[in-house]
């Protein structure tokens, strides 16, 4: 009788091992769920970034305002009818800033 109980115990352990520790077992499924959640978070962040880049591309394709803004900010360009004042100094506010004249009804591009 004792051997029969021991045989059943070994059989139950042998059947439970793949479910808990084998390939596709409970522990591996939990790890895959954790990896899936991390990948979904990364995808959500990238989707937001892609939407912002798509909006920038559409803005650059359709209007001159975005092109002008980029030219001013990244290249330091000014219009031909503007005056640029540079303030000499060692502070953080010593960056050059263009001064815009009064706007007329005619747009200069």
Question: Is residue 5 assigned to a domain?
Answer: no
CA atoms of 99 and 82, how far apart (whole Å): 6
Please say if the pLDDT value at position 48 is more than 90. Answer: yes
Within a domain: residue 94?
Answer: no
DSSP track, 51-68: HHHHHHHHHHHH-HHHHH
Assess if residue 65 is contained within a domain: yes
Q: Which domain holds residue 60?
A: 24-76
pLDDT surpassing 90 at residue 68 = no
Instruction: Report the number of distinct structural domains present in the chain.
Output: 1
Is 78 buried (19+), middle (13-18) or exposed (0-12) by CB count in 10 A? middle
62-66, 77-81, 105-109: the lowest-pLDDT one: 105-109
Domain-located, residue 104: no
Does residue 93 carry a pLDDT above 70?
no
Question: Average per-residue pLDDT in the chain?
Answer: 80
The answer as to whether 92 is a domain residue is: no
pTM: 0.48
2 in a structural domain? no
Q: 55 lies in a domain?
A: yes
């Amino acid at each position: 009788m004792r051997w029969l109980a021991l045989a059943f115990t070994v059989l139950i352990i042998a059947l439970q091992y793949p479910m808990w520790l084998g390939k596709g077992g409970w522990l591996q499924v939990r790890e895959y769920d954790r990896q899936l959640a991390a990948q979904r978070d990364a995808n959500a962040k990238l989707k937001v970034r892609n939407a912002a880049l798509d909006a920038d591309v559409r803005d650059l394709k359709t209007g001159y305002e975005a092109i002008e803004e980029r030219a001013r900010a990244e290249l330091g360009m000014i219009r031909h009818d503007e005056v640029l004042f540079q303030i000499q100094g060692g502070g953080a506010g010593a960056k050059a800033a263009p001064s815009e004249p009064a706007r007329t009804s005619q747009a200069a591009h």
